[in-house]
């Protein structure tokens, strides 16, 4: 487990003490230690705690000088043979100036076993003339100082803090953590690569990651396995992207190799972008090049590697969708669930028109919200949780729709 915090307003290295306990009053402390928070890493702290018991809740906190942090709750994954269900949540797209993070408060209340973040944790844009709330800094973020300040602003939100304190997070990024719609090394200029390296460093400094950035890159793709139930394959669809490839050759080989041999019930792709074909009627372009529709050959290779039990979690489009995953030869091999957004505004979308043009897509909804799911030995369930407004605080949450799959297509269940 990686325990994360960051201290602000300091210039020198500072000692930070940490504790991990079995109870939230810290009566039964099982590990503790001290680390030095360094200015070179924005006084971020990443403590790696090993040898914990599987499928167990733990609580952690930090102390530095006279300050004691609030306690966070985390939970380890079960051991390899476990058939315990895993309860997860997935969130994405939280543009600060577009609204309040009420959805995160409700997500925190669910205390899932794990939270996945599917990208657009921050947006790099400069402050707009009108916003629900004021984002800082005012300018578009392009430098390390700028990205750090932007994360600090986002992370000042108490609902986001509550969601982090409620469960372990496994995040991946999309484009706005760096720049709108960037791909790979961008235009290859020093200027862009410096910006990307700054953005990647700031991302590391603000996330519970175990690998540090190196040579301007950051290893993000990884696997999180929950017993014999789910292999969550966390993908990086930005860093290695190029002509004809969303993932790059190395990441694709890694993914295909694991998919071919995994003994677990569910292969789950955790990644930002709409995965199945989405034909948008009207004037061209009818397929969005920035999504997997822009890399159909690589998508076809992934689908050829999985006979069934594939689940894809995605985001990016700021509306909720659900559908079947169908191969080129007409086999239904899985299900895709697209979360809308925590707060980011949706684009104008003809949901019914798109559903009519894509028979494999079965659900569209335009609320802000997140995904709440359970993977078990028998089935995989996903509830779309939504709030009616984000332009002011206090929206209640409700389940907009719930779907279940046994490994091929999805079925809607009454809620």
The burial of 176, by beta-carbon neighbours within 10 Å (0-12 exposed, 13-18 middle, 19 or more buried), is given as buried
Antiparallel, parallel or unpaired: β 2-6 and 29-37: unpaired
Residue 344: CB minimum distance to Fe ion, A: 5
Give the binding range for Fe ion (CB under 5 A) out of 28-36, 178-186, 255-263, 344-352: 344-352
Annotate 60-102 with three-state secondary structure: EEEEECCEECCCEEEECCCCCCCCCCEEEEEECCCCHHHCCCH
Give the binding range for Fe ion (CB under 5 A) out of 38-46, 88-96, 161-169, 273-281: 88-96
Tell me if 124 contacts Fe ion by CB under 5 A: no
Whether 220 and 236 have beta carbons less than 8 Å apart is answered as yes
User: Which residue lies nearer to Fe ion by CB, 113 or 290?
Assistant: 290
Distance of CA 182 to the CA centre of its chain: 18
User: Which residue lies nearer to Fe ion by CB, 93 or 264?
Assistant: 93
Give the binding range for Fe ion (CB under 5 A) out of 4-12, 49-57, 90-98, 379-387: 90-98
Residue 14: CB minimum distance to Fe ion, A: 35
319 φ, ψ (degrees, to nearest 5): -135, 160
Give the binding range for Fe ion (CB under 5 A) out of 119-127, 143-151, 268-276, 299-307: 119-127
Q: Which residues from 30-59 bind Fe ion, rule CB under 5 A? A: none
Task: Enter the tokens of residue 195.
Answer: 């910006």
Residue 293: CB minimum distance to Fe ion, A: 17
Give the binding range for Fe ion (CB under 5 A) out of 120-128, 199-207, 208-216, 228-236: 120-128
Residue 380: CB minimum distance to Fe ion, A: 25
- The three-class DSSP label of residue 115 is strand
Tell me if 290 contacts Fe ion by CB under 5 A: no
User: Which residue lies nearer to Fe ion by CB, 115 or 303?
Assistant: 115
Alpha helices in 115-248 (DSSP H): 144-155, 158-166, 190-205
Residue 315: CB minimum distance to Fe ion, A: 7
User: Which residue lies nearer to Fe ion by CB, 87 or 318?
Assistant: 318
Give the H or E element holding residue 109: helix 102-110
Residue 94: CB minimum distance to Fe ion, A: 8
56 φ, ψ (degrees, to nearest 5): -130, 140
Tell me if 93 contacts Fe ion by CB under 5 A: yes
Task: Enter the tokens of residue 15.
Answer: 């000692």
β-pair partners for 412:
403
> Given candidates 110, 120, 236, 402, which one binds Fe ion under the rule CB under 5 A?
120
Q: Is 215 left (phi over 0), alpha (psi -120 to 50) or beta?
A: left
Q: Which residues bind Fe ion (CB under 5 A)?
A: 93, 120, 344
């Amino acid at each position: 487990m990686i325990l994360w915090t960051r201290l602000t307003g300091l210039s020198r290295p500072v000692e930070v003490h940490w504790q991990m306990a079995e109870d939230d009053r810290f009566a039964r402390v099982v590990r503790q230690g001290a680390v030095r928070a360094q200015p070179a890493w924005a006084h971020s702290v990443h403590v790696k705690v090993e040898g914990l018991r599987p499928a167990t809740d733990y609580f952690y906190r930090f102390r530095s000088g006279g300050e004691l942090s609030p306690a966070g709750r985390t939970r380890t994954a079960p051991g390899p043979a476990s058939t315990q269900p895993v309860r997860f949540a997935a969130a994405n797209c939280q543009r600060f100036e577009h609204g309040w993070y009420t959805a995160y408060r409700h997500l925190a209340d669910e205390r899932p076993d794990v939270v996945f973040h599917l990208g657009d944790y921050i947006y790099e844009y400069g402050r707009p003339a009108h916003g629900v709330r004021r984002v800082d800094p005012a300018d578009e973020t392009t430098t390390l100082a700028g990205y750090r300040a932007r994360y600090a602003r986002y992370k000042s939100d108490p609902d986001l803090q509550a969601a982090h304190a409620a469960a372990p997070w496994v995040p991946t990024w999309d484009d706005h953590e760096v720049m709108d719609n960037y791909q790979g090394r961008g235009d290859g200029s020093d200027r862009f690569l410096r910006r990307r390296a700054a953005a990647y460093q700031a991302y590391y400094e603000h996330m519970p990651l175990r690998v540090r950035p190196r040579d301007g890159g950051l290893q993000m793709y990884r696997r999180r396995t929950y017993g014999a139930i789910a292999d969550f394959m966390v993908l990086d669809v930005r860093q290695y992207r190029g002509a004809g490839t969303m993932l790059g050759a190395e990441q694709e080989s890694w993914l295909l190799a694991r998919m071919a041999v995994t003994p677990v019930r569910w292969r789950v792709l955790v990644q930002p972008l709409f995965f199945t074909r989405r034909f948008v009627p009207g004037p061209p372009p009818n397929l969005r090049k920035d999504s997997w529709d822009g890399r159909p050959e690589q998508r076809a290779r992934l689908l050829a590697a999985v006979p069934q039990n594939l689940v894809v979690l995605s985001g990016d489009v700021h509306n909720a969708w659900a559908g079947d995953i169908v191969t080129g030869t007409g086999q239904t091999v899985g299900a895709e669930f697209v979360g809308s957004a925590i707060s980011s505004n949706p684009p104008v979308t003809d949901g019914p028109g798109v559903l009519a043009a894509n028979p494999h897509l079965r659900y569209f909804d335009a609320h802000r919200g997140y995904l709440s799911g359970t993977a078990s030995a028998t089935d995989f369930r996903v509830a779309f949780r939504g709030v009616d407004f984000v332009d002011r605080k206090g929206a209640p949450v409700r389940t907009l729709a719930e779907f279940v799959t046994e490994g091929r297509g999805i079925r809607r269940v009454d809620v």
